[in-house]
């Protein structure tokens, strides 16, 4: 498997949890991108966690080593509209987007 991947928050959390399947898939990817919204969700989770400083440092390290795609107002508006769906089903609303399920959810 190779290709370009835009990772969602659930995959990033699985990466932090050292999920073998996620690590194997990422090792085979040619390019990986992280949306800034997912980074915000990770920081939110880190700030409300029991291990705040450790988790913030983990997100900081991921951000420093990754290609982060920024979000403009148009993208933020579109995100809000698409996010109305639940359990990551909102990805199905995006035309021409190939979704790969890496985790059993």
pLDDT at 17 over 60: yes
pTM of the model: 0.74
Here the CATH number for the domain that contains residue 19 is 3.40.50.1010
In a domain, 84, yes or no: yes
Which pLDDT band, with edges at 50, 70 and 90, does 86 fall under? very low
In a domain, 10, yes or no: yes
In a domain, 100, yes or no: no
pLDDT of 93 reads 65
Range of the domain at 56: 4-93
Segment 22-81, tens digit of pLDDT: 999 999 999 999 999 899 999 999 999 999 999 999 999 999 999 999 988 987 787 777
In a domain, 34, yes or no: yes
In a domain, 58, yes or no: yes
How many independent structural domains does the chain possess?
1
d(CA 84, CA 93): 10
């Amino acid at each position: 498997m190779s290709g370009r991947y835009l990772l969602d928050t659930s995959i990033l959390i699985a990466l932090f949890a050292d999920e073998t399947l996620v690590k194997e898939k990422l090792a085979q990817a040619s390019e990986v991108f992280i949306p800034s919204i997912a980074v915000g969700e990770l920081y939110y989770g880190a700030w409300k966690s029991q291990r705040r400083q450790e988790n913030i440092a983990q997100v900081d390290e991921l951000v420093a080593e990754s290609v982060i795609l920024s979000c403009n107002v148009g993208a933020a508006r579109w995100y809000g509209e698409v996010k109305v769906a639940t359990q990551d089903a909102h990805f199905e609303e995006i035309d021409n987007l190939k979704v790969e399920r890496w985790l059993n959810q």
